[in-house]
Amino acid sequence: MRLVLLGAPGAGKGTQAALLKSEHKLAHISTGDIFRHNLKNNTPLGIEAKKYMDAGQLVPDELVNNMVADTLKNLEVDGFMLDGFPRTIEQAKFLDGITKIDGVILFAVSDEEIIKRLTSRGVCRDCGQVTNINEHKKCPSCNGELYIRDDDNEVTIKSRLKVFHEQTEPLIAFYKDKGLLFEVEAAGTPDEIFSRVQKVLRNDKD
């Protein structure tokens, strides 16, 4: 199964990818995570990407496209979930040229809810779990320390949302036209959203 997870920042793509991974043998490819990993290791790619990430802008297509092509080439399992890619029509066309996609899951959630989620989002330093910093002081899974992502501040969040509406939303029509789009209401608990995802996969895939 080859899936694209589509949705605004904070729509819950990463959380759902982790749940999907526990039930299906799929690689989780998060372009944001790959950039953050590169940044942590001070690679040229990480340093270049940081300029855009801090401003809430997209990293140039060419950089992202090459990185994804590389990652897909080196996959050890058959199926994958792309999380945070494609984010522009240009990226979607590039993806079309390198692999076949079985479905695109669109996580639909309001801007108001996104802002609420991102301004209270903490990430565990040890296991990467995302959690609400108003409800937890430590990671509920492993008791690790929680940190707030550099780009989860109000100014950058607004810019990321604007970029989403202008550059990423056109992908909805792009994939609808191909008959690949499946929309999931992304308000509620992670488990509630996950059962909607599973329902979509049962009805439309395999």
Binding site for Zn ion (CB under 5 A): 124, 126-127, 129, 139, 141-142, 144
Q: Which positions from 90 to 119 touch ligand ADP by CB under 6 A, shown as an x/- string?
A: -x----------------------------
Pick from ligand ADP, Zn ion, none: which does 75 bind, CB < 5 to 8 A by kind?
none
32 belongs to the binding site for ligand ADP (CB under 6 A): yes
Active site residues: 13, 87, 121, 149, 160
Pick from ligand ADP, Zn ion, none: which does 127 bind, CB < 5 to 8 A by kind?
Zn ion
Pick from Zn ion, ligand ADP, none: which does 124 bind, CB < 5 to 8 A by kind?
Zn ion
- CB of residue 48 vs ligand ADP: minimum separation in angstroms? 11
Position among 18, 26, 84, 193 found at the interface with ligand ADP (CB under 6 A): 84
User: Which CB, 112 or 206, lies closer to ligand ADP?
Assistant: 112
Tokens 């329902």: give the residue: 199
DSSP class per residue in the chain: -EEEEEE-TTSSHHHHHHHHHHHS-EEEEEHHHHHHHHHHTT-HHHHHHHHHHHHTPPPPHHHHHHHHHHHHHT-SSSEEEEES---SHHHHHHHHHH----EEEEEE--HHHHHHHHTTEEEETTT--EEETTT-SB-TTT-PBEE--TT-SHHHHHHHHHHIIIIITHHHHHHHHTT-EEEEE--S-HHHHHHHHHHHHHHH--
Position among 53, 130, 139, 186 found at the interface with ligand ADP (CB under 6 A): 53
Beta carbons of 121 and 132 less than 8 angstroms apart:
yes
User: Which CB, 35 or 182, lies closer to ligand ADP?
Assistant: 35
122 belongs to the binding site for ligand ADP (CB under 6 A): no
175 belongs to the binding site for ligand ADP (CB under 6 A): no
Structure tokens at 54: 């801090």
